[in-house]
Amino acid sequence: MNTNFRYLTNLESSFRLVRLVAIGAIVLSLAFAAVVAFWALDTVEKSREKIYVLDNGKSLTLALAQDMNVNRSAEAKDHVRAFHRLFFNLDPDETAIDTHIREAAYYGDASIMRLYTDLREKGYFTQLIQGNVIQKVEVDSIALTGNQSPFSVRTYARQLLVRANTITTRRLITECNLIDIDRSDNNSHGFMIERLKVLENGDLETINRD
């Protein structure tokens, strides 16, 4: 009798243990499923904020859609600054000048080449080469009108003409418009300069070099 009672007691304890284990397994499974579902929804939501751009079918670039719009003004200023460095930073070497101007031409429309042609016809580049003059530009500020393309841009800079005995500082002010275009290896910002004009380019001072 006692043996049978102990057997029934052990059997009941075993069933109770099995039920606890089963309930625990179900609870853990539900918790795991909830965590996975939350992670999946969060991943999908974040993926919607991303843009995948296929560049010529070769490279995959990841860009955040919101960040792209936020940083567009900064990109516009960097585009204009890079153009001025290419176009106005010149060494007294015809090949180097041609290389700079060719690279600068990718940054805008025909107004860039019109400015180059006008300076060339006036003998400006010949004077730089013959006088062994190094020309540098220092961009002080870029004023941007608008929060998105097309932008109206005015650039304030100083031009330095370094000669063997003197350094001449000029005030340089340019104006242009910026419109969105497709990005490329030659134009990573995806902007085109339009209607480039030089509003002012006069001497400020000339100092003797020691």
Q: What's the pLDDT tens digit per position in 121-148? A: 999 999 999 999 999 999 999 999 977 7
Q: Which CATH architecture group holds 69-208?
A: Roll (3.10)
Beta-bridge partners for 143? 154
Amino acid of residue 136: K
Return d(Cα 141, Cα 74) in angstroms, integer: 12
Spell out the SS3 assignment of the chain.
CHHHHHHHHHHHHHHHHHHHHHHHHHHHHHHHHHHHHHHHHHHHHHHCCEEEEEECCCEEEEEEHHHHHHCHHHHHHHHHHHHHHHHHCECCCHHHHHHHHHHHHCCECHHHHHHHHHHHHCCHHHHHHHCCCEEEEEEEEEEEECCCCCEEEEEEEEEEEECCCEEEEEEEEEEEEEEECCCCCCCCCCEEEEEEEEEEEEEEEEEECC
pLDDT of residue 60: 45
Closest to 91 in 3D by CA, of 131, 139, 128: 128
Residue 189 burial class via C-beta count within 10 angstroms: exposed 0-12, middle 13-18, buried 19 and up: buried
pLDDT of residue 59: 46
For residue 72, pLDDT beyond 80? yes
Handedness of CA 58, 64, 68, 71 (dihedral sign): negative
Closest to 195 in 3D by CA, of 143, 133, 137, 153: 153
State how beta strands 151-162 and 134-145 pair.
antiparallel
Return d(Cα 129, Cα 141) in angstroms, integer: 29
Beta-bridge partners for 185? none
Q: What is the mean pLDDT of the chain?
A: 84
Whole-model pTM? 0.67
Return d(Cα 76, Cα 63) in angstroms, integer: 17
What does the domain layout of the chain look like in residue ranges?
Answer: 2-48, 69-208
- For residue 6, what pLDDT band results from cuts at 50, 70 and 90? low
- For residue 182, what pLDDT band results from cuts at 50, 70 and 90? very high
pLDDT of residue 53: 54
pLDDT of residue 2: 54
- For residue 58, what pLDDT band results from cuts at 50, 70 and 90? very low
Cβ contact 100:84 at 8 Å: no
The winner for highest mean pLDDT among 14-18, 34-38, 148-152, 184-188 is 184-188
